[in-house]
Amino acid sequence: MNVVVPLIATLGINNKVTFLEKHGTSEFQNSTGAYELDLSLVSNFSAAWRTMNLQTDVFCSGSVILPDKAGRQINVGGWSLDSTFGVRLYTPDGSPGVNGTNDWEENFHELSLLAGRWYPGALVLSNGSILVMGGETGSNASPQPSLEIMPLPAGAGTVHLDFLERTDPYNLYAAHIPAIIIFTHAMPSSYPFLTMLPSGRVFVGYYNEARILDPVTFATVQVLPNMPGAVNNSQVIDNCVSIQPEVPNATWTLERMPSRRVMSCMVPLPDGTMMIMNGAMEGVAGFGLAGDPNFNAVLYDPTLPVNQRFSILNNTIVARLYHSEAILLPDGRILVSGSDPQTPGFPEEMRIEVYVPPYLNTGIRQPQYSITATDFGYNQKFTITNVQVFHGSIANIKVSLVAAVSSTHGNAMGARTLFPAFTCAGTTCTITTPPNAFVSPPGWWQLWILDDVGTPSHSSWVRIGGDPAKLGNWPNLPGFTFPGV
């Protein structure tokens, strides 16, 4: 059961899930538009849901998790007028079984974007500042082909991006690209997709184009080949395209998915695979424009040879069209929510469900470990203790880091999966954190261990790289609290 038709779903470092809903434009006048779900209390409906509050409309906003010590969630942009300038922050608190008291903080008069943005992409840069890019000035309005940095450096303004102006509005409706995978980063459409590359430069994918930007000036360093497949009509296709952007003469690899799909959700899993689900097989977006729900759940394994990477899983059971999300839970399951199709024959969907990936369908008990410290620098060793596996031996475990994300419109902003080096002696394993902020931009990660057949443990949160931009002291303005650095 649910109380909201969410279009943003985020797992907090308190292991609770926040949901944000269209506000003002929602047809449910009884909704505040913001709720937090305590997964430990799902058997007690009234206890499980905490009501939160928003002031402006997050419809078509973007979100990321900050690298500050509180793991705050930031949400920028939105539906129209003041909301498109919105900057909203939430500091996760409470713990499983115990309600938090923090709410979303927002004070438009004190803190707003420089430019109104409907459909902005967001990214934590390697230097710890926040990049916000693109969108339109309002719903189906003129383009906002620029980027801005938060917190705003002294004297800085927006940076114009001619490639977003040229490709507007298609860069918002790249909904016909069912999946783009960059290394193991997920980007299933519609927002400018941003990620830090191992060289320290910024990748941006938009419309059917992609390029690499200088991280200081944001000038284009390299134009990558166009992605295969036109993204400007409503023919839903079964393309999956992937690229290693920084190899010499990088090209897109085109693979065929088992079914065609638009409005896909893609979830990076602890074993390095990607779960693909939800969406439609016909049309685009909501408002009567899409139909034929895709119930086919698909797993993508990037370690297998090209054209052998997809496996078809058990179907999902609820039609989830426009505004559906899928996110990874701390126990390795997937929380699937939403569908706000505004289309006759398809409900505004309040039911949420969990999907159990095959790695939890084997009957094997999940591995366990203990961790005490949670805050690490780069190329630093730390230990986990009491490592226990119930299949194979500790000598054959894997360790993975799955970055904290916030998912909207199937875009898991911040997605990244790493497999750090480690050694084990007895039941203690020593893990080496990633080498630098290019490979691993500052932030929070779910740390997993996996047994020899890929059964994941439960995750613990670790922070790697600190808070170099001192976001924890920001914003020091009326209406906001901040955790310090």
Ligand X SMILES: *[C@@H]1O[C@H](CO)[C@@H](O)[C@H](O)[C@H]1NC(C)=O
What burial letters (b/e) apply to 322-358, b meaning 16+ CB within 10 Å?
A: bbbbbbbbbebbbbbbbbbbbbeebebbbebeebebe
The residue within the footprint of ligand X, chosen from 6, 62, 128, 454 (CB under 6 A), is 128
Computed on alpha carbons and rounded to an integer, the radius of gyration of the chain in Å comes to: 21
Query: Binders of ligand X: how many residues, by CB under 6 A?
Result: 29
144 to 163, contacts with ligand X by CB under 6 A? Answer: 149, 153, 156
* CA distances (Å), origin 68, targets 92, 319, 375, 482: 12, 37, 11, 9
Tell the smallest beta-carbon distance from residue 82 to ligand X (Å).
24
The secondary element (H helix, E strand) that includes residue 163 is helix 162-166
Using rule CB under 6 A, residue 51 touches ligand X? yes
432 Cβ neighbours under 8 A, 6+ residues apart: 379, 380, 381, 420, 421, 422
Using rule CB under 6 A, residue 53 touches ligand X? no
**What tokens appear for 146 in the block?**
């620029």
Which residue, 164, 167, 160, 169, is CA-closest to 219?
Answer: 160
The residue within the footprint of ligand X, chosen from 249, 303, 308, 372 (CB under 6 A), is 249
Stretch of residues binding ligand X (CB under 6 A), selected from 24-32, 68-76, 273-281, 403-411: 24-32
Site string for ligand X, 296-315 (x = CB under 6 A): -----------------xx-
CA distance 63 to 316: 26
Based on CB atoms, which residue is closest to ligand X, 394 or 450?
Answer: 450
Using rule CB under 6 A, residue 248 touches ligand X? yes
Site string for ligand X, 259-278 (x = CB under 6 A): --------------------
200 to 239, contacts with ligand X by CB under 6 A? Answer: 216, 230, 232
Stretch of residues binding ligand X (CB under 6 A), selected from 122-130, 194-202, 370-378, 403-411: 122-130
Based on CB atoms, which residue is closest to ligand X, 50 or 201?
Answer: 50
Based on CB atoms, which residue is closest to ligand X, 46 or 140?
Answer: 46
Cα angle vertex 59, ends 58, 62, to 5°? Answer: 65
* CA distances (Å), origin 476, targets 83, 274, 479, 480: 21, 39, 9, 7
Based on CB atoms, which residue is closest to ligand X, 46 or 372?
Answer: 46
Which residue, judged by CB position, is nearest to ligand X in the bound state? Answer: 47
Using rule CB under 6 A, residue 469 touches ligand X? yes
Task: Write out the residues near ligand X by the rule CB under 6 A.
Answer: 3, 28, 30-31, 41, 44, 46-47, 50-51, 99, 125, 127-129, 149, 153, 156, 216, 230, 232, 248-249, 313-314, 350, 358, 361, 469
